[in-house]
Amino acid sequence: MMGTTPVLFALVALCGGLGAALRYGLDSFISAKFGALLPWGTITINVSGSFALGFLTGLLANTQLNEAWLLAMGTGVLGGYTTFSTASFDTLRLLRAGRPFSSLANALGTLLAAVLAAWGGYLLSSLL
C-alpha cells in the first residue's frame, strides 16, 4: 500500500467532490424521470458505482492500473459517488411509510445487484 502524500490526498479530495456532484446530478435526473416508488436514483448510483469499482480493482489486480489511480478514482470519485447511508435511509423511509415489501426489495435487491455488478466489473477487466 502506498503512502499518502499531500498531492494524493488533495487529488482524492477533489475526486470525491466530483463524485458527489455526479451523484447529485444523476439522482436528481433519475428521481424526476421515474418518481419515488423505489429510490431508483440511489439504486442506479450504487450498482453502477459497484460495477466501476469492481472494474478498477480488476485492473489493479491485473497490473493495468497503478494504486494511485485506484485511490483517486475508487476512493475519491466512487467514494463520493456511491452512498450506503442514503440507501439505508431510503430503506428505513419505505418501511416507515408502511411499505415493508418495497423496503425489503430495496435493501436486498440493491445489495444483490451491487455485489453482482462488482463481480461483473471485475470479470470484465480480466478480459482486457
DSSP string computed for the chain: -PPP-HHHHHHHHHHHHHHHHHHHHHHHHHHHHHTTSS-HHHHHHHHHHHHHHHHHHHHHHTTSS-HHHHIIIIIIIIHHH--HHHHHHHHHHHHHTT-HHHHHHHHHHHHHHHHHHHHHHHHHHHT-
Average pLDDT rounded to a whole number, residues 79-94: 97
Q: Given this model, what pLDDT does residue 1 score?
A: 56
The confidence band for 4, taking pLDDT boundaries of 50, 70 and 90, is confident
| 110 labeled part of a ligand binding site | no
User: Is 0.75 topped by the overall pTM?
Assistant: yes
Domain map (residue ranges) of the chain? 8-126
- Residue 91 labeled ligand binder: no
